[in-house]
Structure 1
Amino acid sequence: MLSTIALKVDVDTLRGTCEGVPRLMALLERLQVQASFLFSLGPDHTGRAVRRILRRGFVGKLRRTSVVSHYGLRTLLYGTFLPGPHIGNQCAAQMRAVMRKGFEVGVHAYDHVKWQDGVAGASLDWTRAELIAARDVFADIFGYPPTLHGSAGWQMNRYVPSLQRELGFKLASDTRGDMPFIPPGGIVQLPTTLPTLDELIGRDDLPEPSPIDTLLRLTRTSPLYGHVYTLHAEIEGGAYLGEFERLLQGWRQQEYRFVTLGMLGDSLEKTELARCELRQGTVPGRAGVVAIARPSRHQKRTGSSS
């Protein structure tokens, strides 16, 4: 049986939706590769991310990853010097094209920057309002409510898992980690298991000549439940499209099978998954903290109830 890699495409911006997504679709279709596309659906306020400049490591990331070239100067002004365009209103056709091509679609956020910078300390009402806003725009665009969620920036709070269940989501990829789990009151979590390209670009502490070679080294062996790799429409769908193709070809040579998050979730239906609480942790190459799993001390391993 081939090991699996679930490809999760995070789409953060208007530019990523209108330009990066079509490029990625064309590549994935040509190589016959499955993937899940998770969309930011409301206003593009990317420029407001400058508030993260005080976070340890954020300036270094900006220097390493050439943010202007990936996102474009106009995008970096949205929400500050330029009004934030509503992605769902302007890019609905591009989003529906993804569904028509047979790729899985889901929710990344309503307002990407607002969620990433605000959800960790947000109230129950704030969190519910943001999830409902994303759910409603998604349903307007695709004609059915979303069942897949992947939090912007892997940012969570204690209310998110139960709200996801309440609002009809069936599967989530909001966290970083090594294996699937179920948070208290929530739905199955499929953590991102591999570093992202922007966490590897420009680092001088890695032995390989390129981020792609680092990723291929990390996938020489497969974990029990396979890998989840998160890519970005603005990076792999932009300047790194050719390198991303090399990565896909390398994974093919390593005998991986490409699946969607939904396909990975379906394969776990009869699998006993750990019950884990959420906590904050760090990831090499990424500024700030992200949501990760903390095994529950008082709960035994149990079957999925999603």
Structure 2
Amino acid sequence: MHQFTVALKVDVDTYAGTRDGVPRLLEIMEKAGVKATYYFSMGPDNSGKALRRVFTRKGFLQKMLRTGAPGAYGVRTMLYGTLLPAPRIASSFPHILKETSAQGHETGVHCWDHVDWHDYLPRYDEKKVAATLGRATELFREIVGEPVKSVAAPGWTVSARSLAFQDSLALDYCSDSRGHSPFYPLFEGRRYNTLQIPTTWPTLDEILGTGGITAENVNDFYLSRLLPGLNVHTIHAEMEGGVLSASFVDLLKKLQERGVRFATLREVAAEHRATAPEAPLSMGEIPGRAGLVAVQG
């Protein structure tokens, strides 16, 4: 019986992250004998439009500079949708989605347009939610050859309308939130039926450059956060599959030395679906992240 379980959730936000980061992560995980759950952005890469957050979200510029985002994401990515056309992500690399599934990893939908969902979801009416998420799930089915079973919202951003539409898809579970354990969400006075598996550890971009944490010592921080039971770690194809891949390789090695059991989120859902409690879910602030995220009460 394993004392510690770590579920790796991979958010794939960009064109470059899909093209370069995912294959690198697949290589790393194959060598380590680890399976994960990958969430793919399906539509256009409008990453350049995220720069408007400099003017609308307190702490966004500081975070970008603290984490070295320009170097991690690349200049072209930071111009997509503004000075450069927004390339289509999943339709440009269907073979990468298929290969991820073929290697035994779980795959799901992150979004259609990452930046638009993250920044404007509160303004989406029911039709807009259904259109954008429906478009993403349809393309996923066309490429992967099976219906979507899980969704993970960009930036952990939810609304009553998005949660309701996810319920209508009859998903196995979602991973839209930050918290401590699987639960059924109570959001704005309503109980939703889709199990939430929250991310329990901070992401790299939330902690790098804070409290003396660097790429060289960040894994000491993560090991200090390893708790008995379930730990859910969200990584990004653009970070751990890019300039910080060496840190990720080291993290997997150190976790394996601790005797950690690795699981996909599908496996976690199967283990917790029948016993997970209801818990409040609300949009709130967490350290290291600019803007609001869905937080388990």
- 3-state SS, counterpart of residue 140 of structure 1: helix
Q: Deviations over 1:218-276 (max 9, x none)?
A: 11x32x4x0110000000000111110111111112221111000111111332x2212
Give distance in 2, aligned partners of 1:199 and 1:269: 29
Which deviates more, 5-14 or 49-58? 49-58
Give distance in 2, aligned partners of 1:122 and 1:186: 21
Is 1:291 matched with 2:285?
no
The correspondence of residues 36-185 of structure 1 with structure 2, limited to 5 A, is 36-54=37-55, 55-183=57-185, 184-185=191-192
Alpha-carbon contact 2:180-2:296 (below 8 Å) kept: no
- 3-state SS, counterpart of residue 131 of structure 1: helix
Give distance in 2, aligned partners of 1:227 and 1:95: 25
State the TM-score, normalized to the length of structure 2: 0.94
Give ranges in structure 2 of 5+ residues lacking alignment. Answer: 186-190
- 3-state SS, counterpart of residue 26 of structure 2: helix
Give distance in 2, aligned partners of 1:69 and 1:251: 27
User: What displacement does 1:206 show?
Assistant: 5.5
For 1:297, the equivalent position in structure 2 comes to: none
Give distance in 2, aligned partners of 1:207 and 1:106: 31
1:195 is aligned with what amino acid? Answer: P
User: What displacement does 1:194 show?
Assistant: 0.2
Alpha-carbon contact 1:121-1:157 (below 8 Å) kept: no
The correspondence of residues 247-262 of structure 1 with structure 2, limited to 5 A, is 247-262=251-266
For 1:274, the equivalent position in structure 2 comes to: 277
Give runs of ≥4 in structure 1 deviating > 2 Å: 204-210
Alpha-carbon contact 1:16-1:234 (below 8 Å) kept: yes
Identity of aligned residues (%): 39
Alpha-carbon contact 1:11-1:40 (below 8 Å) kept: yes
Alpha-carbon contact 2:5-2:262 (below 8 Å) kept: yes
For 1:304, the equivalent position in structure 2 comes to: none
2:150 is aligned with what amino acid? Answer: L
1:112 is aligned with what amino acid? Answer: H
Superposition CA RMSD, Å:
1.5
Give distance in 2, aligned partners of 1:162 and 1:186: 9
Is 1:242 matched with 2:246?
yes
> Measured at CA, do residues 121 and 279 of structure 1 come closer, stay the same or move farther in structure 2, by a change above 3 Å?
farther
Give distance in 2, aligned partners of 1:208 and 1:156: 30
2:110 is aligned with what amino acid? Answer: H
> Measured at CA, do residues 45 and 208 of structure 1 come closer, stay the same or move farther in structure 2, by a change above 3 Å?
closer
**How many residue pairs get matched?**
290
For 1:232, the equivalent position in structure 2 comes to: 236
